[in-house]
Structure formats: structure tokens, C-alpha cells
Structure 1
Amino acid sequence: MKKLLTLTLTLVLALVLVANQASAQQFSKRKQYNSVGVSLNAMNYFGDIVPKPSITSLRFAATRPNIGLSFTHRFAPRISARGSLSYGRITGDDAKAADDTDPDAKYRYNRNMNFRNDIVELSAVGIFDLIENRNNYLKRPDFVPYVFGGVSVFHHNPKGQDASGNFVALQPLGTEGQRVNGDGTYGLWQISIPFGGGVRYKLNKSFDLGFEIGWRKTFTDYLDDVSGNFAPDAQLLTDQAKYFGRGITRSTQGEFARFNEPGQMRGKSNEDDWYIVTGFSLNYILAPRVKSPKFR
């Protein structure tokens, strides 16, 4: 997956650079324009609390809303740059995601973890249109597919629901013994690589309707607060840390004991978490001001 991601981003960047060099000189500043947009999206995640221990596995019932604002500048017939600010939520629950009849998922069913995580993201991406527009915004194509890639910074804060129904911030607890074993705990500010594709449809001279799907490759395995192994009780400093760190036992006959012993796998620590944003946007084109020539 990492090699595929690197190859995809390299190819997109190469296409952008080639197209930009070939067309930038033919696209005057009078044809460049800006747009502002709002988006309403669906948000999902890939991680440890999903139906299958696979990056392609997600639980559609765990979909949560995401909203965003964006500003886009068109530089060339195929090239635009976009800055976006968005807010959304991801969530997961072993009790609803893991199948207790699946031998590969049974330990996660008994683990019985849950979380929700509110994510605020600020991103900057380059957009490459598959259909070019060498004219001004008024003569732009009616239908344009595109691909994009870039970088983002985001803030997250995973929380778990306790027996009383209250949501508790998990990062300060050190649920895998991070507060004691010297590794420290994970940061709530992280970087990701957003990439994906979409289509735009021209509604009229001023508005475009868009549909887009975008993946976020993160560099943390703690969007769900689950990554490594179960920690000994001595490394869990509070009752809340023990409650969430040792697992909320599902079995009434001691079956769970063999799943949550110290050192046993709590999560797949060799894979970072991902999240995905899918939805619609409405973009308003800010008509460029055309300066009239001066005559003397």
C-alpha cells in the first residue's frame, strides 16, 4: 500500500508539472479565477476497530458527517490549488463491528473497545483536471473529472464511552502504559496526505456542483487509541486507564481472560490509521475583475 501511494502521488505530481509547463504560458491572468465552496460529506475510518483487520474494511453504519469550507485558485487550463478547513467525526465499536463467530475477529469482539474522534483538518492540495479549459470561467466545460493530492494538518482527540455513558478523553490516560514505560503518548496534532478524485458539474455561469472522494494517509496508529499490546495493571495509573486499557470484558465465564493478558495483542501496531471523506460541494466562482485599457 505504501509503494502504491508513493507511486500514485509521484505520477500525479509529474502530470501536474508537465501540464503546467505546457499550458501556463497560454493561460493569461485574465483567465485565472478564484472560487469559494462549502461541502457536506460522509466520514469513515480504517483502523483497529473495524469489521476485519484490513485497510479495506470499514463499517458503513459508523459513517458520520463532515462539513467544510474551501478556497480554490485556478492557475492554468488543468491546474488549481485549494485550501480547505473541515470538521468531522469518526467512530468505531467492537460490539457492533467485530463478528464473534469469526476466529480472526473474536479477540476484538471480546476486547469490546469503542471510540469516537472529532477531527479538525486544514489542508492544501493541488488539483489536476482531466479535461482542460483554455478559456475563461464562463466557457468552462460542463463536466470535469479530476484528481488531487497534497498535505494536511489535523487535530484529533479520541474518546471512549464508559459504563455511565459518558465520553472520556483517552489520550491523557495512557491506555497502553505510555505514561509509565517511557514511550510517552501520541500527539493530538498530526499530519496526513490527502489524495483522491472527483467530478465537477457546471450548474450555471457562477456555480459548480462537485462530488469527491478523498483518502487521508495518516502517520499515527492512534485515531482509535488502539495500537500495541495490553499493558500490565501497574502501568495503568488510574481506574479509567484500567477500564479502557484492559478492555471492557464481554464474557461472563472468564473466556476474556486469555485475550487481555499483559503482552497480548490489543491492536495491529504495524499499520497506521486512515480516514476517508466522501461528499458533495457547492462552489461559487468569484468573477475576476477585468481592467479596461486606458487611452490617452
Structure 2
Amino acid sequence: MKQIFTYTLALVLALSLVASEASAQQFSKRKQYNSVGVTLSAMNYFGDVTPKPSIPSLRFGATRPSLGVTFTHRFTPRISARAGLSYGRITGDDSKAADPNDPDGKYRYNRNMSFRNDIAELAVVGIFDLIPNRNTYVKRPDLVPYVFGGVAGYIGNPKGLYNGTYVALQPLKTEGVAYDKGGIAIPFGGGVRYKVNKSFDVGLEIGFRKTFNDYLDDVSTVYVAQSSLGSEAARYFGGGNVLSSTGEFTNFNAPGSQRGKSDEDDWYVTTGITVNYILAPRVKSPKFR
């Protein structure tokens, strides 16, 4: 609840800043403009299947690509709004991320969970430039740092590798929970934009997505009794991925034992290069009578 309050307050402050900026600046329509862009990013996630179950912990070897397209409208010398559609993948693997010698992480190593999740996102954010452009797009500053924040909707599908094939994990109910595969996220971050020429900008941006979902990786709370799991695949993922010498699934952790860390929702983050093409505004010629 405290986190939700913090992000809500930040969003309210951002909207207040937009309103005050819009009312303080006289920015003619002739100076407003649109741009379209493409983004190629490296995508990671923070969650339970990482070296540490905390936000700063990630494994760079789990980095996967993300591709996006955007449409941006410039409203004032500092304020723009951007809509973006992106698609990328997050992954995690206990056998590569967890340290069996770490007393706090040994359960993650024994859990032996691995997953991948392809996420599609539609986001709308407000962008605040730290250096204003009070002229037309042609005379915009060469280098502009900026920050952004907004709201996004996403949909994913966590999958795990079973007998050489990736299977959807959400229908298996490995923790006895019917969780949602998508939801609302709070995107925020910053970047820097460089003017290449009159029509093109190139930028570097890092963006964080705070979700309200702890199941991007299909791991959140505790183990359940294997007898309550309805399929062999569910018992494989829900029982610690451990096989006995006879080939039967063993319940590595007893029902109720820790499988994940439920007090932290999952995040995903993108770090990428953007290329924007400015759509030159049409200037209407004055009419004479």
C-alpha cells in the first residue's frame, strides 16, 4: 500500500507540473510538432528468479531484446506526451542465478525454476525536458536530458521448459493460484536525446516498470501439496523440478515451505536506443481577401 501511495503521489505531482507548465508557457501551434520513433532495447526483470529477491538484483546473462514503436506530440517548450507499443522478453534461471552457498539463496537454487515471459505493452507517458525548446523544431537544442512517467497496460505469458517444449505456466496453477497474466504497470525513467539533423533525433533511455503482479515468473509464495496439482507438468514445476532415482517427482519442499518472496511485486526494465523522425508541421499560408 505504501508503494502504491508513493507512485500515485509522484504521478499527481507530474500532472501538476504539466498543468503549470502548460499554463505558464505560450507555445503556439506553429511550434508544436509530432514525431514517430523506433526503439531497440535490452530487457531485464526484477523478481524471484534472480540472484537476490530484490529490486536492484538482476542477471545480465538473462538480458533479452525488446522492440517498440512510439508516437510523440510536443505541447510546450518542456512537455511532450508519448504513446508507445512494445514487445519483449524477460527470462530467469535459478541454476544460473542462485548461489547454493548463500544461506538466504539456497532455497532458490534447490527450487531450480526457469522461465521466460513474452510481454506486450501499451504505454502512455508524459515527458519533461530539462532543457526547454522555445523555438521551432528546427532550432531545438542539440542535447536534451529528460525524465518521464505515466501508465501502461501489459499482457504476458510465463512459460517453462518441460520435456524439451515450453509450456504455459499460468494454467498449471503451480501455487494453487489463478493469477492474471497481464495488468497495469507504472512506467518511469529518464534519458538523453541528441539532435542528429533537422529531422532526426537519437536517444538513450532507461525505463522501469513497476507492476502490481508477483507472477511474471510464476513464483510468489509457498509450495502446495503435489496431490493438489493436476498434471505431471504442474508437479514438475510446482515441486522443485527434482526427480528421484526411480523417475518419480519428489516434493523437495513440504507444503507451506517457501517457494518465493511474496512481499515484492515483479518489475521489468528496458535500456535502449531510440531513433525519432520529426513530422514537420504544416504551416498554413495567410489568406488575403
- Quote the Cα distance in structure 1 between the aligned partners of 2:228 and 2:260: 17
2:193 aligned partner: 200
Contact 1:110 1:251 in 2 (8 A): no
2:240 counterpart SS class: coil
Shift, 1:19, TM fit: 1.7
2:48 counterpart SS class: coil
Deviations for 1:68-121, whole angstroms, at most 9, x for unmatched residues?
000000011111000000000000000000001111100100000000000000
Q: What's the TM-score once normalised by structure 2's chain length?
A: 0.94
Asked if residue 272 in structure 1 is aligned to residue 265 in structure 2, the reply is yes
- Quote the Cα distance in structure 1 between the aligned partners of 2:86 and 2:106: 35
Check 1:250–1:237 CA distance in 2 against 1; reply closer, same or farther (3 A cut).
closer
Contact 1:43 1:88 in 2 (8 A): yes
The within-5 A match list for 1:143-292 is 143-162=143-162, 164-178=163-177, 185-249=178-242, 260-292=253-285
Asked if residue 140 in structure 1 is aligned to residue 133 in structure 2, the reply is no
1:110 counterpart SS class: helix
Contact 1:45 1:90 in 2 (8 A): yes
- Quote the Cα distance in structure 2 between the aligned partners of 1:295 and 1:151: 46
Contact 2:34 2:279 in 1 (8 A): yes
Check 1:18–1:248 CA distance in 2 against 1; reply closer, same or farther (3 A cut).
same
2:146 counterpart SS class: strand
Check 1:42–1:140 CA distance in 2 against 1; reply closer, same or farther (3 A cut).
same
2:31 aligned partner: 31
1:182 aligned partner: none
Contact 1:72 1:81 in 2 (8 A): yes
Amino acid at match of 2:105: A
How many percent of aligned residue pairs carry the same amino acid? 67
The within-5 A match list for 1:88-103 is 88-103=88-103
The within-5 A match list for 1:35-46 is 35-46=35-46
Shift, 1:6, TM fit: 4.5
Deviations for 1:125-178, whole angstroms, at most 9, x for unmatched residues?
01111111111100111011111111111110000011x221110001111123
Amino acid at match of 1:18: S
Shift, 1:250, TM fit: 8.0
2:14 aligned partner: 12
Shift, 1:12, TM fit: 3.1
- Quote the Cα distance in structure 1 between the aligned partners of 2:69 and 2:244: 46
Shift, 1:17, TM fit: 2.5
- Quote the Cα distance in structure 2 between the aligned partners of 1:67 and 1:94: 26
Deviations for 1:1-45, whole angstroms, at most 9, x for unmatched residues?
82654554444333322222211xx10111100000001000000
- Quote the Cα distance in structure 2 between the aligned partners of 1:53 and 1:187: 21
- Quote the Cα distance in structure 1 between the aligned partners of 2:264 and 2:169: 20
Deviations for 1:239-291, whole angstroms, at most 9, x for unmatched residues?
11101111112898xxxx79511000111112110000110000000000000
Using the TM superposition, name which of 286-295 and 259-268 deviates more.
259-268
- In structure 2, stretches of 5+ residues that fail to align are none
- In structure 1, stretches of 5+ residues that fail to align are 179-184
Amino acid at match of 2:79: I
Amino acid at match of 1:175: T
Tell me the matched-pair count.
Answer: 284
- Quote the Cα distance in structure 1 between the aligned partners of 2:6 and 2:213: 19
CA RMSD of aligned residues (A): 1.8
- Quote the Cα distance in structure 2 between the aligned partners of 1:38 and 1:52: 33
2:256 counterpart SS class: coil
- Quote the Cα distance in structure 1 between the aligned partners of 2:243 and 2:74: 55
Amino acid at match of 2:122: L
Using the TM superposition, name which of 4-13 and 39-48 deviates more.
4-13
Contact 1:113 1:244 in 2 (8 A): yes
